[in-house]
Amino acid sequence: MRNEFFMKRFVLVLVVFLVASSVFAFGSKEKAEVIQVTGVVRLVGPSLFPELIITNSDMSWYVAADEIDKLFEMQHQTVTLEAEETVTEIRFANGMPAGTRRELRNIKIISVR
């Protein structure tokens, strides 16, 4: 009986620890900021999970999944657009930084070249 009580407590503490650590593993988002971006539209990723990115000489931005239809036909073209940028700091499970993901939402196309 007593052993069962400690086992339940141990499992509860373990679950709380795992949930708390997974929050940090996925990263943290900052508030969206409206920016203007000029770059080339590219398709990246495996065929099952393709993603669009906008690249220029300085950095790359991922296009949000619900915005892909707007830019899919503009692959390999240079576009200028205005969008909300969400920056997510990605971390490994041990808390070490893994990089930054910049994602664009609410895209308004300004020009296509």
pLDDT in tens, 38-51: 999 999 998 888 99
Position 15 in a domain: no
**Domain CATH code at residue 44:** 2.40.50
Under 8 Å between Cβ of 85 and 102: yes
What residues make up the domain containing 69? 27-112
Write out pLDDT tens, residues 1-34. 667 776 777 766 666 666 655 554 455 566 788 9
Under 8 Å between Cβ of 61 and 44: no
CA distance 26 to 38: 28
Position 9 in a domain: no
Position 50 in a domain: yes
Position 10 in a domain: no
Position 87 in a domain: yes
What are the phi and psi torsion angles at 103 (to 5°)?
A: -125, 140
- Tell me how many domains the chain contains: 1
Q: Which amino acid does the sequence have at 101? A: R
| 77: pLDDT strictly greater than 90 | yes
